[in-house]
Structure 1
């Protein structure tokens, strides 16, 4: 890295005097209205800044640019999440001068004293979009676009703290309160609440979130046919790739193919393309479900407005529903031909359109949707169209998807400011999967480290939304396949592959998944989503990307850190245990590298020995888990250290643990009582293991029955492994009503 910076913080015991916002921002714009707010986040101060903007002029938005000032007067580092292009966010970093190449929705600045200032522009309140820019001096400027018919006031939130997460939490919690209060005054909010109470069927979220999925997009490409889909699923089964969810992606629809390229194509009718699916969508879904019982969910792709250019103006849908014509601007990136006219269902019929479309899908056996191209509404040139239709479509889609598919929907290309705040921030419905970055591009080598980097930084923001961040599909046979697999495992989101049929890395798939007692293939998803722990480190700083996650209850769960080399050269770093998320200062932990299996001695975060050295080559990665240690006393051996390592051989096998407790039965006997969500090989750390033998000192039971002795072995001097999967099969056990595995391991002290 380049030269580092040492910040000597003043004692946290002494509180700084309360300061006003203009004292913290150099050249603060005195025309701005600001007020102090009560922060819901500890150890933070919060302010609200109002920006007055005039009414839109006819069909033209009113846009204002208002200077704010320079945070802290000077700063050491800054971090931003910018609109890399209309549908997606991406990170930006810098040092002592703010230089933004794109509009930002979130900014953070590190002061020379080690304090953080976070700025958040609020969108989705009414018809306002609020973003940040930088001026020639490197100061912050606020840009507001208004589609309102009357003068309005936009809001920027500012928070400061000694801790970045506390400052970020302050602005996000207050933004959520503002959006919820505003939405509670609408009839759409009442409909959502009513639907949740009376129409949405409760179900285990894990049935959708935690199954292994397969998407046809990169695997089969466009111009789908029934034959391609069925053959692909058959091939997966032949290679023992047992998926739970199937996503039939773009191009199954009946499309008019007018104009040049897919962005000019319109959607004709609900039914699948007649030539490619001659017996209809229902027939295809029936064939898939009847032949492959492990597939519990079948979802289809569609654009929020129908297809990439909306509705075909002369098709059956346009005949059944009232439509309107809107004009799109060209895309800011990739020279995509997005511009021009598109036909969409008019405001009066949007709710009926969605209800009837989803009824059709349900009748075909479809029970989930991936709703893409949501950003398209933000490309419209008409202020009136955005004002009339954006919230209308978002409300109609949310309500229809809840009624017909419960939680089984994926929101995609939806990282526009209005959608992020208006639809994804309020906590009044179950969380849905939401794509967290631009696509996985298998044929673009440079995109792969950037893809993981971007997702890790976007999650800094999206962790506060009412969504489950989705890091997109990937292929298991690829130069970066393990890199992507490890990233998905620590993401806390779903995992679905898009392998070309017959091209599968089964070892990698087995590292990501396990089989439940009922035979379902599941992933091991941490309970806290993964995100970067170094928000101010830039992509070109030659530093390892460290993605922190956590699984389990506070204080007793497992801390997870995925480490990725996004550089084009080998890197080595020393990482202290204290940087692992959720570790307690007085706790004792053992750290295990999931790829190497190497394990540290029990250490405290304050210990000199609590550092791990990580060396990774280009495309290198590893996942480190810090397992909490239980300490017991033994008359003969002094203190004994014990830890449940979860399922070994899995990238995030700690997430298989549902419950885990060590008990002292007598002065000489102990046992581990643990419940797991899948079969596999359980690892248990026992510091006194060198003095014990499997034959004389161990007994393991599953569901109360002793397991075959040969399924318990010493993996090394401190780890005993129990092959639960082999024992389950040899004992002929059945799951019964439970889909969990209860194991007890008895051993001598």
Structure 2
């Protein structure tokens, strides 16, 4: 059966345009025996809701002037391309129908694929600072009791306001709440997006259409107008013991939900920005929020820290601890953690040639009591490891690991912010050593309440000493990092006095101690609670920390994996504006969903660490995520700019949409590499046409006249040179269930009549991240030089538009570190005849090269230009 598998603009999604003329594209997949039939396609559209629907015929096109195919059809099918032009005046609702010829019935894409109509919105006027619209013009029925004023936006193409509402003083034993109507954004909108608190530690995305309705309180939300503009709302927290969130009210109205922990009446604040671009509008409210928090919050954690003792400068001095490949014991070894299991796990990794750089001992290494029903009710006894599970102690374990496995440079341990899940053991040594207080928790999710709903925690005046003593102990054992979990617990205390006394105190004491003892080699986990986000993660007054970006990876829950990717990609829209490195959590390589998880970690820009059960490894997948440096260290190939979702208004499991995660690596425009990770989070195959213009940074680079080649990691296919606006810059992709791909758009350099680009390490998901620098030159003798510096070994790919006309034997010279490499390590890529493969890893080993002081490798590729008549 033939079917329209994809359109651009996409059916079932929203597309925003700034111009009035639009070319629609459609891809029809048909059995090969039917390819010659007189296929007809029609664009069925209406210029407004409830208006008259009319149709425009698509015209057939040839493959060489249609979208670029990066995923080939099966042997039994072929793809046909059609286009239709339309002049737009306002928003347009549309769908597509097709038939085999005039004598056949029309078949609708909405019926075949189960997708709703597409929507195209036209933004006729760019947002500017001097626009006459004010906040009441943008929010219908704006509550007159609210106080609002215009603010100076720090994000171009946006306008900004603050909205204040008064909330009464907190009572003696409970906070005061206020639910304040705000109004209806735009007076009606086309789509909305929000990040909500599904439960206390985490954030998660929600999307909808014309009616705003959320099941949980939202930290921020955005609304798309019928004219294509974005109105973004951010609730402020971390200032004056007040938390401001959002709720949906009657008829989908936006509500402020304000909590006051202060002993006097206070003000809840929301920031509102309007812009033509969602990310610019979000940046506007985030920049202003940082300004407000920084101006009102000076914490102990901002104080200078003691420098850590250092030896001589090492070649890896500029690398971060998380640049290597990591291993965590949580899902791999479980909670019944023992010394024997840990040693066996690291031995098995080494036996499988998986060379990790850091190890995380997760929950259950500590000395805890057995009070209550389980971990949520257990308390922490003392600093040392569990005597039963670790009979030789923590120091001996760490010493053994470091002695035997020199590749493991960093060892971190897990602990809860308050010690353990229920705090300190009430009768344990720690509770007797430090001054403590009893605090009550609110009703807990999933039966996670401590015994009698009460926790024993260190008192405010000794939090600094508590963390300093603990981290000094860990350092004496050879531990040089921590994963500090359950940080949200401080946001579960109902008493306003307790919250005022302890929430900030614990954050500051932990931050200061981690800086002093571990130089920020920490992972902040379960810390997406508003008081923590605004106080500890938003200000840029301290080095950034690695921060968990979503709820856990759950290997045994098949339904969780697609959602895990979706939630991380959308949470990253916010976290990329914080002073953190988003961490998409560990995963397992020998797992049914391992491929998409691995690709997601690569495009996330965050750390890459695995949690494989001993012996259950996919070494080939590990090699796609990592590379070996000239000094023998395994590093993760992380883009320099974190990945985030590109389609914020597309809901989870939309049958017509792939999850698209955009990232960027390298220098500022032009010259860096835009990246888009594609993930099928639906329960069936999904095809799309993805414009090159959607890649981060590409549209801005068009002012430079930039041209690109786009490469698929999965298929190895490379497009011809394309620029934005050309038919070939539309990328036709199709992914099966659990399918994924990573597309990299490599900027081209013109060397006389030749287009050249450094593709980085081909065979790696984000091989562009191995590139440190590339210089292109036309030499005096007329030859072209590609001078590439890389931080790791592998197969280097060089795109050369005239490569099919050249001879590797006669026209090329390649050197590594100034020495000619063996000829057999240079070849033409098997997937594309325009790509030269240079196996620098094989050459390095065969030539027995040494890294010396540096940890980079320089590859020079010289080639001649064919004379043209």
Q: TM-score range by the shorter chain?
A: over 0.9
> Helix, strand or coil: the match of 1:439?
coil
Structure 2 residue 559 is matched with structure 1 residue 559: no
Paired residue for 1:739? 855
Paired residue for 2:560? 447
Structure 2 residue 836 is matched with structure 1 residue 726: no
Q: Residues 15 and 286 from structure 1, CA distance in 2 versus in 1: closer, same or farther, beyond 3 angstroms?
A: closer
Using the TM superposition, give the Cα deviation of residue 475 of structure 1 relative to its aligned residue in structure 2, in angstroms: 0.2
Paired residue for 1:91? 205
Using the TM superposition, give the Cα deviation of residue 11 of structure 1 relative to its aligned residue in structure 2, in angstroms: 4.3
Q: CA RMSD in A?
A: 1.4
Once the two structures are superposed, residues 280-335 of structure 1 have per-residue CA deviations (whole angstroms, 9 ceiling, x without a partner) of: 10000000000000000000000000000000011110111001111112334x44
Using the TM superposition, give the Cα deviation of residue 109 of structure 1 relative to its aligned residue in structure 2, in angstroms: 0.2
Contact 2:129 2:159 in 1 (8 A): no
Q: Residues 123 and 13 from structure 1, CA distance in 2 versus in 1: closer, same or farther, beyond 3 angstroms?
A: closer
Equivalences for 1:305-384 in 2 at 5 Å? 305-332=418-445, 334-337=446-449, 340-384=453-497
Using the TM superposition, give the Cα deviation of residue 706 of structure 1 relative to its aligned residue in structure 2, in angstroms: 1.1
Structure 2 residue 640 is matched with structure 1 residue 527: yes
Using the TM superposition, give the Cα deviation of residue 20 of structure 1 relative to its aligned residue in structure 2, in angstroms: 1.6
Paired residue for 2:140? 26
- Cα distance in 1, alignment partners of residues 120 and 317 from structure 2: 48
Using the TM superposition, give the Cα deviation of residue 692 of structure 1 relative to its aligned residue in structure 2, in angstroms: 1.1
Using the TM superposition, give the Cα deviation of residue 8 of structure 1 relative to its aligned residue in structure 2, in angstroms: 2.0
Using the TM superposition, give the Cα deviation of residue 9 of structure 1 relative to its aligned residue in structure 2, in angstroms: 2.0
| TM-score normalised over the length of structure 1 | 0.97
Paired residue for 1:44? 158
Paired residue for 1:514? 627
450-459 or 159-168, which deviates more: 159-168
Contact 1:550 1:559 in 2 (8 A): yes
Aligned residues: 738
Equivalences for 1:625-664 in 2 at 5 Å? 625-633=744-752, 639-664=753-778
Structure 2 residue 384 is matched with structure 1 residue 271: yes
Once the two structures are superposed, residues 667-710 of structure 1 have per-residue CA deviations (whole angstroms, 9 ceiling, x without a partner) of: 53011111101010000000111111111111111111111111
Contact 1:702 1:741 in 2 (8 A): yes
> Helix, strand or coil: the match of 2:304?
helix
Using the TM superposition, give the Cα deviation of residue 38 of structure 1 relative to its aligned residue in structure 2, in angstroms: 0.4
Paired residue for 1:602? 721
| TM-score normalised over the length of structure 2 | 0.84
> Helix, strand or coil: the match of 1:399?
helix
Paired residue for 1:117? 231
Paired residue for 1:206? 319
- Cα distance in 2, alignment partners of residues 380 and 213 from structure 1: 34
- Cα distance in 2, alignment partners of residues 127 and 206 from structure 1: 38
Using the TM superposition, give the Cα deviation of residue 18 of structure 1 relative to its aligned residue in structure 2, in angstroms: 2.6
Paired residue for 1:581? 696
Structure 2 residue 291 is matched with structure 1 residue 159: no
Structure 1, unaligned runs of 5 or more: 634-638
- Cα distance in 1, alignment partners of residues 198 and 783 from structure 2: 60
Contact 2:127 2:275 in 1 (8 A): no
> Helix, strand or coil: the match of 2:531?
helix
Contact 1:371 1:409 in 2 (8 A): yes
Contact 1:701 1:743 in 2 (8 A): yes
> Helix, strand or coil: the match of 2:174?
coil
- 1:174 alignment partner, one of 285, 288, 297: 288
Using the TM superposition, give the Cα deviation of residue 126 of structure 1 relative to its aligned residue in structure 2, in angstroms: 2.3
Using the TM superposition, give the Cα deviation of residue 205 of structure 1 relative to its aligned residue in structure 2, in angstroms: 6.2
- Cα distance in 2, alignment partners of residues 320 and 199 from structure 1: 27
> Helix, strand or coil: the match of 1:302?
strand
Using the TM superposition, give the Cα deviation of residue 428 of structure 1 relative to its aligned residue in structure 2, in angstroms: 0.9
- Cα distance in 1, alignment partners of residues 359 and 694 from structure 2: 38
Using the TM superposition, give the Cα deviation of residue 195 of structure 1 relative to its aligned residue in structure 2, in angstroms: 1.4
Equivalences for 1:400-479 in 2 at 5 Å? 400-479=513-592
Q: Residues 739 and 248 from structure 1, CA distance in 2 versus in 1: closer, same or farther, beyond 3 angstroms?
A: same
Q: Residues 15 and 39 from structure 1, CA distance in 2 versus in 1: closer, same or farther, beyond 3 angstroms?
A: closer
> Helix, strand or coil: the match of 1:206?
coil
Highest CA radius of gyration, 1 or 2?
2
Once the two structures are superposed, residues 575-624 of structure 1 have per-residue CA deviations (whole angstroms, 9 ceiling, x without a partner) of: 11011111122210000001110000000012121111110110000000
- 2:737 alignment partner, one of 580, 603, 618: 618
Using the TM superposition, give the Cα deviation of residue 207 of structure 1 relative to its aligned residue in structure 2, in angstroms: 3.3
Q: Residues 579 and 398 from structure 1, CA distance in 2 versus in 1: closer, same or farther, beyond 3 angstroms?
A: same
Using the TM superposition, give the Cα deviation of residue 55 of structure 1 relative to its aligned residue in structure 2, in angstroms: 1.4
Contact 2:153 2:160 in 1 (8 A): yes
Equivalences for 1:658-697 in 2 at 5 Å? 658-666=772-780, 668-697=782-811
Using the TM superposition, give the Cα deviation of residue 22 of structure 1 relative to its aligned residue in structure 2, in angstroms: 1.5
Paired residue for 1:636? none
- Cα distance in 2, alignment partners of residues 8 and 159 from structure 1: 19
Using the TM superposition, give the Cα deviation of residue 163 of structure 1 relative to its aligned residue in structure 2, in angstroms: 1.1
- Cα distance in 2, alignment partners of residues 274 and 124 from structure 1: 40
Contact 2:751 2:784 in 1 (8 A): no
Contact 1:81 1:105 in 2 (8 A): yes
711-720 or 27-36, which deviates more: 711-720
380-389 or 400-409, which deviates more: 380-389
Paired residue for 1:195? 305
Contact 2:191 2:223 in 1 (8 A): yes
Using the TM superposition, give the Cα deviation of residue 648 of structure 1 relative to its aligned residue in structure 2, in angstroms: 0.6
- Cα distance in 1, alignment partners of residues 447 and 397 from structure 2: 36
Paired residue for 1:486? 599
Contact 1:200 1:402 in 2 (8 A): no
- Cα distance in 2, alignment partners of residues 521 and 507 from structure 1: 14
Paired residue for 1:253? 366
Structure 2, unaligned runs of 5 or more: 1-114
> Helix, strand or coil: the match of 2:682?
coil
Contact 1:86 1:331 in 2 (8 A): no
Using the TM superposition, give the Cα deviation of residue 200 of structure 1 relative to its aligned residue in structure 2, in angstroms: 9.0
- Cα distance in 2, alignment partners of residues 205 and 467 from structure 1: 18
Structure 2 residue 346 is matched with structure 1 residue 240: no
